[in-house]
Amino acid sequence: MAETLRLWRHARLATCDAAARRIERGALLTRGARIEWVGEEQALPAVTPDESHDLGGAWVTPALIDCHTHLVFAGNRAAEYAERLRGRSYADIARAGGGILSSVRALRAASEQQLFDESAPRLAAFLAEGVTTIEIKSGYGLTLEDEAKMLRVARELGRAFPVTVRTTLLAAHTVPPEYQGRADDYIDAVAREWLPALAHAGLVDAVDVFCEGIAFSVAQAERLFAAARALGVPVKMHAEQLSNLGGSLAAARLGALSCDHLEYAGEAEAAALAAAGSAAVLLPVAFYCLADTHKPPVAALRSAGAAIAVASDCNPGSAPGTSLLTAMSMATRLFGLTAEEALLGVTRHAAQALGLAGQRGALAPGAAADFVVWNVGAVEELGYWIGFNPRRTVVRAAEVQRWPNQKS
Ligand code: NIG
Ligand code: FE
């Protein structure tokens, strides 16, 4: 059966492709689930579409991509946040057995169904803002079975909701109690046993490691990355968040898809990431919630030509937020991104951070026909409103989504 040819006309387009064009009188042609043609409406090829949609002159962008979340978790850490408000540091709480480990205890005690039920409303909040691709990490299980449980829930969310879920194994998030004082043995177990088992079960799209004084060293990260490479699994890194251990230089050298956080990175790291084609993922909600003051090297990333992405980092500790639009606002105000950079950060560059460059995150021929029609007068409004959602209609795989739209 021939794939449906759809015309989407009378639109203002922010293409977010390599040319990052703004087209005032634009149109899109989609065939099946992909974009076939994008351009000025007056230059439309002479075809007879099966369906035609008049978008009423509204702004259209690629659907949003959240390329870094820990969305599947149990309970919350509001009590720790209250402690931090009284002056205790995140690292201090972590060293005392709280932090990530307190979410590990909650996750291990939760059933798969509970985990799904707690995570689903968070996912729904992202989708309501026009997200159609989201990365979800493990990292609160820290046993083979509990990491598998988290990743299965992430996959199940992707089946239950109109969203593409990319899963990342972050077993190297912190040393679990069972391996206290034996971080090297833990990395060996993850690299030699867990990663192959979970990858063969189809649960792992990428591998991540928290490279930090309170987590894992560069040498340990490199061992895990070598195991991932042997399996053909791409790698990513939480790097230079609280200090500079040299993680991002190593990750760039090993061709990581992305390095994330980067508050303590500098010019050398920016140049290395740009040269390697590793996306620099900025996580301003964590910066905000930790009352951090050390900013990522945005000017250096910009001048090196790095792909700067912006993500929510949704997690119960450092970033309890479910709004990618708010992350865009924080990336502009707190880190100095331009409105255009913030938009590319949640579209084209976020796709690159997930290894989906060219397939998603741009209005371009060959890309997925995932896009959002917005109730805005200018696309700059997307990183401007705080707590207001200007989404009009979400189109995924060229289908107008009945949910989460009020009307379609
Ligand atoms: O990206 N940095 C490490 N991981 C998370 C925080 C996880 C947590 O505190 O639960 C982050 O900020
Ligand atoms: Fe994170």
Q: What one-character-per-residue DSSP string does 276-307 give? A: HT-EEEE-HHHHHHTT------HHHHHHHT--
Look at residue 408 in the predicted model and tell me its pLDDT: 38
**Tokens standing for residue 301:** 């990333």
Q: Whose CA is nearest to atom 9 of ligand 1?
A: 317
For ligand 1, what atom is nearest to the CA of residue 94?
Answer: 9
Provide the residues around ligand 2 (an ion) whose CB is within 5 A.
Answer: 313
In which residue ranges of the chain is CATH 3.20.20.140 found? 64-353
**For a substitution probing ligand 1, which of 81, 173, 260 has the most ligand atoms within 8 Å of its CB?**
173
The listed CATH number (2.40.50.140, 2.30.40.10, 1.10.510.10, 3.30.565.10) that belongs to domain 5-62+362-401? 2.30.40.10
pLDDT at 403: 72
pLDDT at 406: 47
- C-alpha dist (Å) from residue 329 to 116, 314, 318, 387: 29, 15, 17, 10
* Residue-level pLDDT at 405: 60
- Which ligand 1 atom minimizes the distance to the CA of 313? 1
* Nearest CA among 171, 163, 160 for reference residue 134: 163
Structural contact between residues 98 and 80, judged by C-beta atoms closer than 8 angstroms: yes
Q: Which residues line ligand 1 (CB under 6 A)?
A: 70, 99-100, 103, 210, 238, 241, 286, 313, 315-319
Distance CA 229, CA 373 (A): 39
CATH number attached to the domain at 64-353: 3.20.20.140
pLDDT tens string, the chain, 408 residues long: the values are 789 999 999 999 999 999 999 999 999 999 999 999 999 999 999 999 999 999 999 999 999 999 999 999 999 999 999 999 999 999 999 999 999 999 999 999 999 999 999 999 999 999 999 999 999 999 999 999 999 999 999 999 999 999 999 999 999 999 999 999 999 999 999 999 999 999 999 999 999 999 999 899 999 999 999 999 999 999 999 999 999 999 999 999 999 999 999 999 999 999 999 999 999 999 999 999 999 999 999 999 999 999 999 999 999 999 999 999 999 999 999 999 999 999 999 999 999 999 999 999 999 999 999 999 999 999 999 999 999 999 999 999 999 998 766 443
Q: Where in the chain is the domain with CATH 2.30.40.10?
A: 5-62+362-401
CA of 173 to the centre of ligand 2 (A): 9
**Which residue of 66, 67, 68, 70 sits with most ligand 1 atoms within 8 Å of its CB, as the best mutation to test the pocket?**
70
